[in-house]
Amino acid sequence: MASNYELYNSIILNLETSLYVFNNRAKFISDIKPILERVCIGLHIEEIIGYSIAVVTVNNPKGKRQIQLLGAAFILDFYTNLVYLNNKGVY
């Protein structure tokens, strides 16, 4: 199972993804809207359980700040958490 993976609880900032992905229900602050959808990640196909608003805490020069990420996918067996960036930072 993915939860044994060393980076399972980490959040990776990624320029290459177009989707916020979280593998822990505790990261979501609203009900997860179920959906029957899958996503292809490399050679694997993962089932998206649903979408919701996720929250992450980031450190910046002024201290810690929480950011809400709309439309984050909940994928239970995903190996880590992904947040995509644009040229302005967190998108």
pLDDT in tens, 10-33: 888 877 778 899 999 999 999 999
Question: pTM, whole model, 2 decimals?
Answer: 0.82
pLDDT given at position 91: 46
Helix, strand, coil in percent for the chain, rounding step 5: 5, 60, 35
Reported as a single tens digit per residue, the pLDDT across 34-84 is 998 998 877 889 999 999 999 998 888 889 989 899 999 999 988 889 888
Instruction: Supply the pLDDT for residue 27.
Output: 94
Which pLDDT score is estimated for 90? Answer: 55
Rounded to whole angstroms, the Cα distance separating 53 from 55 reads 7
